Structure 1
Amino acid sequence: MFINKMPRYDILSTDAMATLDKGWKRLLTEIGIEFMKPEALDLFRKAGQRVEDNTVFLDPEFV
């Protein structure tokens, strides 16, 4: 059996992790994600997410 003997590293500081967390939430809620399939847009709309044209704005709690 293979056992990984490499030490674990904390690559990002707590502040950096907080910045990333804030960033992905902003991307999803303010900028949104574009979907080209109408079926996907309908699914997100039915799930209570905001849909404008082809862009879905996700609630972070949904993710």
Structure 2
Amino acid sequence: MGEGSNENTNGLLRDFFPKGMSIDKISQAEVQKRFNALNFRPRKRLNWKCPAEVFYSVTLHLI
């Protein structure tokens, strides 16, 4: 992946968890929900595959 992919992912995480927000009271269910939102989001960088598809080398039929 390119150098900007980490910064892009950090920006996506900031959408869910703004800078300065206390993470002490975030439930495991909420973390899992955000994890799924990021890992099942198609990325142009991955030829419109989801990170989970690339990681597991499986094509998902999401539509």
TM-score (norm 2): 0.34
TM-score (norm 1): 0.34
* Higher helix proportion: 2
Greater C-alpha radius of gyration: 1
